[in-house]
Amino acid sequence: MANSITVPALLTLVLCLISSTVSTSVDNHPIRRGGGHMNVIDRCWRRNRLWASRRQRLASCSAGFAGKMRNNIGPGLRWYVVTNPGDDPAQPRPGTLRYGATMIPGKVWITFAHDMQITLRSPLPIKSYTTLDGRGAVVHIARGAGLLLNNVHDVIIHGLHFYGNRAATAGTDGDAIRLVGSRKVWIDHNTLYAGEDGLVDVTRGSTDITVSNNWFHDHNKVMLLGHDDGFLEDRNMRVTVVFNRFGPNCSQRMPRIRHGYAHVANNLYDGWVKYAIGGSMNPKVKSEANLFIAPSNHKKRSPGERRRMGSNGSGSR
Ligand SMILES: *[C@@H]1O[C@H](CO)[C@@H](O)[C@H](O)[C@H]1NC(C)=O
Ligand SMILES: *[C@@H]1O[C@H](CO)[C@@H](O)[C@H](O)[C@H]1NC(C)=O
């Protein structure tokens, strides 16, 4: 008897699905129904099928200490499309990423014409009011230097892939994304792995940063918040780390924080080796709703164990 109702039940289900599809398109509303699985950031722009023609919407979707990124849009905004994957730090050519990020005054929103790999020959300094928007192309910033945010503010880095970043020239360091004295920065939906130094380093008075929706994997020292024990100004540092995926094969610093305050929430930890979240120099960490999947092949230290082990952070971790 139970089997005999299968066909009509299926039909009904199919009809329901068709009618819900139809009613959505009849509404002719660009926002799709559902999408309840998306987090608050993605829900804000991603359900809109026309997102590619409403790219600026992204600026209103940030959360956490970066706040809304509305300074990056509005009057005077210049659009710039990267068409050339080349890099010449001495004389940046129009069409390259370096030209767009360094040579255009005021607000600039940078997109990419097609998939490309960009090997930076020296760290790329990003100006204030710059948005890097990798949506619609697969863009790798790879096997060369990374991005440097040096005393800037109002920067969005979205939808890029970083791997194999290294110190490309003497005296620079091998971070994928390095912040020095910068504020109001939003790092969202990037994939970062296998760099030489840190993947995201927030240092020397940087604050009001949100690191969200990124995937970090195959890396040792993932994210450093506060570089110096002696840099007391970092007591004012506030960083939100939310909706990220860490692992597999990440060892430590997810993040490691000195002095300041980190809100670390809703992240997925797919294993760790040394520790997941750690801190020193009296930091404050609010760790909330994170999912830790203990590694099967290592000793299972809980995220807080490092502190109980008595380290005051003077070591290298
Ligand atoms: C883990 O990541 C490191 C880079 O930190 C890499 O060298 C190594 O090959 C990775 N291991 C595996 C098993 O993929
Ligand atoms: C941290 O520990 C090291 C080594 O145990 C010690 O020399 C140093 O004085 C300690 N620093 C603080 C701030 O407690």
Nearest-CA residue for ligand 1 atom 5 is 219
Give tens-digit pLDDT for 58-108.
Answer: 999 999 999 999 999 999 999 999 999 999 999 999 999 999 999 999 999
The identity of residue 101, as a single letter, is A
Residue 217 Cα, ligand 1 centroid: separation in angstroms? 9
Helix then strand then coil, % of the chain, to nearest 5: 20, 35, 45
pLDDT at site 216: 98
Distance separating alpha carbons of residues 247 and 254, to the nearest angstrom: 10
pLDDT at 309 over 60: no
pLDDT at site 211: 98
Domain 7-301 fold is Pectate Lyase C-like (2.160.20)
Annotated domain spans of the chain: 7-301
Non-local (6+) Cβ contacts of 156 within 8 A are 58, 59, 62, 69, 72, 130, 131, 132, 133, 185, 186, 188
pLDDT at site 3: 43
pLDDT at site 296: 78
More confident residue, 2 or 145: 145
Averaged confidence pLDDT in the chain: 87
Residue 260 Cα, ligand 2 centroid: separation in angstroms? 19
Give tens-digit pLDDT for 247-301.
Answer: 999 999 999 999 999 999 999 999 999 999 999 999 999 999 999 999 876 555 5
Q: Is the CB of 309 under 6 A from ligand 2?
A: no
Catalytic residues: 253
The strand pairing partners of 293, in sequence order, are 270
Predicted model pTM: 0.82
DSSP state of 8: H
